[in-house]
Structure 1
Amino acid sequence: MMGYWGWGAGPWFGMWIIPVLVLGLILWMIFRGGHGVSHCGDRHSRQESAREALDRRYANGEISREDYQRMKQEIKS
């Protein structure tokens, strides 16, 4: 005679799936470090220094050369 789910498995055959999925989700969250979603790898895994932010802003044309030089001197002191 065939069981509820067929082949004599019974209604409890698939009950192991949910705990395995929950365990997998927990392990995934632990091993990804609990950080937010990162699309660019290491670039976003650490905070940008003041000098790096200044260099990036100058390279993107957000600030003038004079402002860049002045701010760079302020960062050094």
Structure 2
Amino acid sequence: MMYGYDPGWGWMMLMPLLWIALAGVIVWAAVRLAQHGDGRRPHPEARPRETAREVLDRRYAAGEIDEADYLRVREQLDGGERP
């Protein structure tokens, strides 16, 4: 006899689900830790943002803009006259 304490069928079915959820959280945390390292290193896919000058240089090197546009925008970026 349980002296009035009866957890019922609901708790008996819920306990395995809680253990499964706990195991899932542990696996998820282990995978995240393995992917991101110890937190002191940036993610391998993370890259620093390009500055405006780097974007301008890349576009000029790729032939997207001509020399006149490149020189005009470079002067503006360097603090020259603004239109």
Which residues in structure 2 correspond to 1:38-53 (within 5 Å)?
38=45, 45-53=47-55
Question: Taking structure 1 as reference, are residues 51 and 19 closer, same or farther at Cα in structure 2, changes over 3 Å only?
Answer: closer
Instruction: Name the larger-Rg structure.
Output: 2
Give the distance between the partners of 2:56 and 2:25, measured in 1 at CA: 49
Q: Which runs of 5+ in 2 are unaligned?
A: 1-19
CA RMSD of aligned residues (A): 3.1
Matched, 1:24 2:27: no
**What is the percent sequence identity of the aligned residues?**
32
Name which of 65, 71, 74 aligns with 1:72. 74
Which segments of structure 1 move beyond 4 Å, counting only runs of 4 or more? 17-20, 32-35
Q: TM-score, normalised by structure 2?
A: 0.51
CA distance in 2, matches of 1:75, 1:19: 49
Q: How many residues align?
A: 56
Match for 1:76: what amino acid? D
Q: Structure 1: which 5+ runs fail to align?
A: 1-14, 39-43
